[in-house]
Chain A
Amino acid sequence: MSSFPLLTVTAALPAVGAVLTAALPAATNPRRRDLNKIIPLALSLATLALSIVIAVRFTPGGAHYQFTESHPWIADFGIGYSLGVDGIAVVLILLTAVLVPFVMLASWHDADPVANDAGTFERSRRTQGFFALILAVEAMVVLSFESTDVFLFYVFFEAMLIPMYFLIGGFGDRTQGEDAKQRSYAAVKFLLYNLLGGLIMLAAVIGLYVITAQQGIGTGGHGTFDLPTITRALASGKLHFSPVAENALFLGFMFAFAVKAPLWPLHTWLPNAMGEATPGVAVLITAVVDKVGTFAMLRYCLYLFPNASRTFAPAILVLALIGIIYGALLAVGQKDIKRLIAFASISHFGFIIMGIFAMTSQAQAGATLYMVNHGISTALLLLVAGFLMSRRGSRLIGDYGGVQKVAPILAGTFLIGGLATLSLPGLAPFVSEFLVLVGTFTRYPVIGIIATIGIVLAALYVLVLYQRTMTGPVKAAVSGFRDLRARELVVVTPLIALLLVLGVYPKPLTDLVNPAVNATLSAVQRTDPAPAHPVTATGTTGTTTTTTGGGQ
């Protein structure tokens, strides 16, 4: 294996691209503007190529963390620039790298200069700012997935809030007056809520460092932030948390991730943020940035604090369950398309968190797959909804009707996105939803049963949404709608293809994910519960058949 720093380059490429894009000379005509947009698009495609290289060269049965790089950074605090990926990280990096080019393509005109603006920034640099910020977010998210040092992760976990904040608040359905105030409020709420979570996590991070320093885990009298070192020390008994300390640290970390993910009741920032942002930025929020939160629950909460994770798992499962039902119920009553999708996301994240804390191999593998599949399906749904909204300029469901007669391809892709959201068998999200529910049921049957209500409610809100907007009499404003243009078709077709392929053949993803899931379970010292009614070995074949989720 060459010593080419693949992970650093994969993260540095979008970062350099962000700086480059921001420094491009201002565009004076539309052609020049398009050229300014092609450069960030090309860079994001290059990042996609690099992430595919990572996925292809990753050896599922090999070392736990692969492509590792390690350099000292702030030696006085035991902080190192340490990177490494396991299967879960590879899969999520792939998701991010796949979605960003589509977001860019879909938001091609979202950041064009406004006609009656008030300053030079609006006129000339707005477009570059938008694409540069998207690349910056991608760089920081990828680095968060790649990091194996707790402090490095924390730095980028917090730092990604700033470009996201500017993306939400600075670019939207461009209007002045009331809407601008709402957008600003949503952006500030996003930033402050997540900052609060991050600051509480800072106290926990400092506490973790002090404990490692006191127990002599690091070198030279300092503590350490290196995740593999800490996990090894925990496993060998060299590092020992007192129950109170472990619970407090777990809660500190979990609070930040629960705000990010989001987990009910810390979710109130998401509907505002997704509702006010452009559809492309909304996809970034829910499909890319929020995944960092759930990924961190898997990687940091479970590995660093296994005992506390087991202690708090029932409580978190209850919260996740409430989130599933609550999100779905509130989605049913929404009048605003983007807020509806936001509440649907809250419901889906409830499933993901439920899968993580059920702590069976099927549930966790399902949760990881769910992260990917939810990303793709929500991206599809949101982006098509964005195309719909850009034709009328309104987010309200009541403003649309009968679109399928006028723009059948648009309606068709919207339907596929909706069916994916409600986990129709044959599309990718079904696999993950099934695995999560089955995995939860084996250990917590009651919770698994109640969670299935979420599927019914999902069908309700998706199909009602489709019925109200796409079917029925054609509204006056709708009759002039154009069907999907070439650029929009380029956005939706690969996403639909991915959903179909992964729905039928998820094996490549599960192969990547399963070893990491098994490692997580052994770190948390859980094994899958034995089945209640095992089939005897003498009669039938395949008692422990290899489902695609992987049994133990």
Chain B
Amino acid sequence: MSSAPSAVHSLWTLADQSTSSTIGTFTQPHVQYAQLSPMLIVTGAAVLGILAEAFVPRKGRYWTQIGIALTGLVAAFVAIVLLAADGYAGAKADLAVQGAVAVDGPALFLQGTILLISIVAVLGFAERRLETGTAANGAPVDAFTPQAAAVPGSDAEKSAVRSGFATTEVYPLTMFAVVGMLLFPAAGDLLTMFIALEVFSLPLYLLCALARRRRLLSQEAAVKYFLLGAFSSAFFLFGLALLYGYAGTVSLSGIAAVVSGTESPVTPALANTTGNDALLLIGMAMIGVGLLFKVGAVPFHSWTPDVYQGAPTPVTGFMAAATKVAAFGALLRLLYVAFPGLTWDFRPVMWGVAILTMVVGSIIAVTQTDVKRLLAYSSIAHAGFILTGVIAMNKAGISAVLFYLGAYSFVTLGAFAVVTLVRDAGGEATHLSRWAGLGRRSPLVAAVFALFLLAFAGIPLTSGFAGKFAVFQAAAASGATPLVIVGVLSSAVAAFFYIRVIVLMFFSDPRPDGPSVAVPSVFTGTAIALGVAVTLVLGILPQYFLHLAGQASVFIH
């Protein structure tokens, strides 16, 4: 046996050093845990939440879960602030975990925004004063179905309601979704981006199915979201594969280097495909499809109205705000870090997408009669406005998009929080005709909603105007004047349906059998108050946050 070739060896023997086979040494990856701390903290909160679901008795679950969730999110936000103060947003920006995670200005800004949105959203999930409890003990209930696995309308569902069950799993699900959203705009390579996409999408599909009222509509929304989302993730993955074939690497900066020709990939297996521009363009287009789906851009928007309408309203608010922030962050990073050299190629297509999105979102919203669908189409139109800032491809564009995302998300959260308050015997009254005369019965709530609608419309002195001005100014500076003109015209169309709701609330007579406005507990009240405060502060004194966004707008390559 001693003369046998040393290439065959067992687990317990060392390879022969003299052979020519190159067995590479294994270098342990260096994980910068401190830079990943926000994501790790939220993951920890998620895992703790799962354990709490398993082991904490039913009575104590609600408060335990809220405590874990809020503590985790606040701690993660503190970690972000510490990282930013330490200089990771500027001079010390870094690609952590061997290039998989970027810790730079835009990543920290967007992650901070997502965490703030999540805190407000969790407060909204925790609201239990609004639904009149039908449990035997009259306990207050939240917006989520007591037992998701029970068939709607069956006896199992009725007994679950009577027993006072609650789906407190929503909190750890939300935490997982937040982890994915934190990673998505900070991904340093495409595979990490894909993983983050899946991690945040799957819990969201589940969350959409958990509405307490109109369960069939909710489940339909979840299935639609899941099918279309899976389809778009497949597009993303296929595009990823094509880009790997082109560049030989999935790292964003690596792809950029191959595009600009400063590096040529050396993988022998890819020798036939590297440098093939067709692969690059098709791959970029497919990844674009995946991302534009998540953003809600036309023509990949058809899921938005149905999902927004069917999901429980607190979840809709969370999705509308946080998903957009994460998805636009990823789109920004992709275009500015991986594909800046292809600006001439993708700009015409993005122009078309932006114009279509702004126009279609505004025009179709005019005919809507359900307030949640109306807000869904309005969010499509806003995605179009943000796209004009993305297309600008200059530093002003990045900071404008960051500011717009921050301003827009709080208005959205506040608006959906108000929608949860307008209720009648059958639950939320979302048909617009039932909102008639709300301004006469509950002037404060109607005035707050009117403020949010005016912020959506972009009236000066609201945060919506500051955001719109920033993105249009960035687009105009980059030469996209037609986009600005289409933008202001579709803003004018959009103003029509926002004003129509205000007219309905204030200048129509209330219906005798109309809905009433429930008095929120401190949870939803905080969400609404925060929305109002952010809208007014960012509208009247936006300088500090504009400056912050401007400082945070340098991507690391």
- CA–CA, A162 and B458, complex, Å: 12
User: Are A159 and B460 CB-contacts (below 8 A) given A77-B469, A121-B440, A206-B469?
Assistant: yes
Q: Are B509 and A118 in contact (CB under 8 A)?
A: yes
Q: Is B188 an interface residue (CB 8 A)?
A: no
Chain B, Cβ-Cβ closest to A157? B460
Q: Is B476 an interface residue (CB 8 A)?
A: yes
Q: Is A119 an interface residue (CB 8 A)?
A: yes
Determine which of B454, B487, B495, B541 lies in contact with A192 in the assembled complex, contact meaning CB atoms within 8 Å: B495
List, in ascending order, chain A residues with CB within 8 A of B543's CB. 72-76
Partner-B contacts on A (CB < 8 A) = 72-77, 117-122, 125, 154-156, 158-159, 161-162, 166, 169-170, 176, 180, 183-184, 187-188, 191-192, 195-196, 199-200, 202-203, 206-207, 209-210, 213-214
A159 nearest CB across to chain B (Å): 5
- A/B interface sample: 10 pairs, CB < 8 A: A118-B440, A119-B439, A121-B439, A156-B460, A162-B454, A170-B506, A195-B495, A199-B491, A203-B472, A203-B488
User: Are A206 and B506 CB-contacts (below 8 A) given A73-B543, A121-B440?
Assistant: no
Determine which of A75, A155, A170, A196 lies in contact with B492 in the assembled complex, contact meaning CB atoms within 8 Å: A196
Max chain A Cβ within 10 angstroms of own Cβ: one of B473, B508, B542: B473
Q: Are A119 and B510 in contact (CB under 8 A)?
A: yes
Q: Are A209 and B461 in contact (CB under 8 A)?
A: no
- CA–CA, A154 and B460, complex, Å: 8
- CA–CA, A214 and B473, complex, Å: 12
- CA–CA, A176 and B460, complex, Å: 32
Chain B, Cβ-Cβ closest to A248? B481
Determine which of A119, A159, A213 lies in contact with B440 in the assembled complex, contact meaning CB atoms within 8 Å: A119
User: Are A206 and B476 CB-contacts (below 8 A) given A74-B546, A77-B469, A196-B492?
Assistant: yes
Give the dominant DSSP class at B's interface.
Answer: helix
- CA–CA, A122 and B509, complex, Å: 11
B468 nearest CB across to chain A (Å): 8
List, in ascending order, chain B residues with CB within 8 A of A117's CB. 440
List, in ascending order, chain A residues with CB within 8 A of B541's CB. 73
Chain A, Cβ-Cβ closest to B454? A162
Give the dominant DSSP class at A's interface.
Answer: helix
Q: Are B459 and A162 in contact (CB under 8 A)?
A: yes
User: Are A210 and B477 CB-contacts (below 8 A) given A120-B441, A195-B492, A202-B469?
Assistant: yes
Q: Is B550 an interface residue (CB 8 A)?
A: yes
Q: Is B443 an interface residue (CB 8 A)?
A: yes
Partner-A contacts on B (CB < 8 A) = 437, 439-441, 443, 454, 457, 459-461, 465-466, 469-470, 472-473, 476-477, 481, 484-485, 487-489, 491-492, 495-496, 499-500, 503, 506-510, 541-543, 546-547, 550
A294 nearest CB across to chain B (Å): 21
Determine which of A73, A155, A188, A206 lies in contact with B503 in the assembled complex, contact meaning CB atoms within 8 Å: A188
- CA–CA, A207 and B487, complex, Å: 13
By Cβ-Cβ distance, the 4 closest A-B pairs, closest first, are A119-B440, A155-B460, A199-B488, A184-B507
Chain B, Cβ-Cβ closest to A152? B460
A47 nearest CB across to chain B (Å): 21
User: Are A206 and B484 CB-contacts (below 8 A) given A74-B542, A162-B459?
Assistant: yes
Q: Are A209 and B473 in contact (CB under 8 A)?
A: yes
Q: Are A210 and B491 in contact (CB under 8 A)?
A: no
List, in ascending order, chain A residues with CB within 8 A of B470's CB. 77
Q: Are B461 and A159 in contact (CB under 8 A)?
A: yes
Determine which of B466, B473, B492, B499 lies in contact with A210 in the assembled complex, contact meaning CB atoms within 8 Å: B473
Q: Are B496 and A119 in contact (CB under 8 A)?
A: no
Q: Are B495 and A158 in contact (CB under 8 A)?
A: no
Chain A, Cβ-Cβ closest to B550? A76
Chain B, Cβ-Cβ closest to A176? B509
Max chain A Cβ within 10 angstroms of own Cβ: one of B485, B488, B496: B488
User: Are A76 and B546 CB-contacts (below 8 A) given A121-B443, A202-B472, A203-B472?
Assistant: yes
Q: Are B437 and A118 in contact (CB under 8 A)?
A: yes
Max chain A Cβ within 10 angstroms of own Cβ: one of B466, B476, B508: B476
- CA–CA, A255 and B547, complex, Å: 33
Q: Are A184 and B461 in contact (CB under 8 A)?
A: no
- CA–CA, A120 and B470, complex, Å: 40
- CA–CA, A467 and B500, complex, Å: 42
- CA–CA, A196 and B441, complex, Å: 31
Determine which of B459, B485, B495, B507 lies in contact with A169 in the assembled complex, contact meaning CB atoms within 8 Å: B507
List, in ascending order, chain B residues with CB within 8 A of A72's CB. 543
A262 nearest CB across to chain B (Å): 17
Max chain A Cβ within 10 angstroms of own Cβ: one of B469, B542, B547: B469
Max chain B Cβ within 10 angstroms of own Cβ: one of A76, A77, A162: A76
Chain B, Cβ-Cβ closest to A183? B507
Max chain B Cβ within 10 angstroms of own Cβ: one of A77, A184, A214: A77
- CA–CA, A493 and B470, complex, Å: 50
Q: Are A192 and B472 in contact (CB under 8 A)?
A: no
User: Are A158 and B507 CB-contacts (below 8 A) given A73-B543, A210-B473?
Assistant: no
Q: Are B461 and A187 in contact (CB under 8 A)?
A: no
List, in ascending order, chain B residues with CB within 8 A of A119's CB. 437, 439-441, 510
Chain A, Cβ-Cβ closest to B440? A119
- CA–CA, A155 and B487, complex, Å: 18
B402 nearest CB across to chain A (Å): 12
- Given A187-B503, A206-B484, output 11 extra A-B contacts at Cβ < 8 Å: A74-B466, A74-B543, A74-B546, A75-B547, A76-B547, A119-B441, A155-B460, A169-B507, A180-B509, A183-B507, A203-B472
A138 nearest CB across to chain B (Å): 16
- CA–CA, A210 and B488, complex, Å: 16
- CA–CA, A77 and B543, complex, Å: 9
List, in ascending order, chain B residues with CB within 8 A of A213's CB. 477
Q: Are B459 and A200 in contact (CB under 8 A)?
A: no
- CA–CA, A203 and B476, complex, Å: 9
List, in ascending order, chain B residues with CB within 8 A of A75's CB. 543, 547
A169 nearest CB across to chain B (Å): 5
- CA–CA, A154 and B547, complex, Å: 22
Determine which of A166, A170, A210 lies in contact with B476 in the assembled complex, contact meaning CB atoms within 8 Å: A210
Chain A, Cβ-Cβ closest to B495? A195
- CA–CA, A458 and B506, complex, Å: 38
Q: Are A170 and B481 in contact (CB under 8 A)?
A: no
Chain A, Cβ-Cβ closest to B502? A165
B230 nearest CB across to chain A (Å): 39
Q: Are B499 and A184 in contact (CB under 8 A)?
A: no
List, in ascending order, chain B residues with CB within 8 A of A74's CB. 466, 542-543, 546
Chain B, Cβ-Cβ closest to A185? B503
Determine which of A176, A192, A202 lies in contact with B499 in the assembled complex, contact meaning CB atoms within 8 Å: A192
A192 nearest CB across to chain B (Å): 6
User: Are A206 and B507 CB-contacts (below 8 A) given A74-B543, A155-B461, A199-B489?
Assistant: no
List, in ascending order, chain A residues with CB within 8 A of B508's CB. 184
Max chain A Cβ within 10 angstroms of own Cβ: one of B507, B508, B547: B507
A175 nearest CB across to chain B (Å): 11
A14 nearest CB across to chain B (Å): 16
- CA–CA, A386 and B441, complex, Å: 30
- CA–CA, A156 and B465, complex, Å: 12
- CA–CA, A179 and B338, complex, Å: 60
Determine which of B437, B439, B454, B492 lies in contact with A199 in the assembled complex, contact meaning CB atoms within 8 Å: B492
Determine which of A159, A169, A191 lies in contact with B506 in the assembled complex, contact meaning CB atoms within 8 Å: A169
- CA–CA, A149 and B502, complex, Å: 31
Q: Are B440 and A206 in contact (CB under 8 A)?
A: no
B56 nearest CB across to chain A (Å): 45
Chain B, Cβ-Cβ closest to A117? B440
Q: Are B507 and A187 in contact (CB under 8 A)?
A: yes
Chain A, Cβ-Cβ closest to B486? A203
- CA–CA, A207 and B480, complex, Å: 11
Chain A, Cβ-Cβ closest to B489? A199
Chain B, Cβ-Cβ closest to A195? B495
- CA–CA, A121 and B488, complex, Å: 35
- CA–CA, A158 and B466, complex, Å: 13
List, in ascending order, chain A residues with CB within 8 A of B477's CB. 210, 213-214
Chain B, Cβ-Cβ closest to A207? B476
List, in ascending order, chain A residues with CB within 8 A of B507's CB. 169-170, 180, 183-184, 187
B173 nearest CB across to chain A (Å): 39
List, in ascending order, chain A residues with CB within 8 A of B542's CB. 74
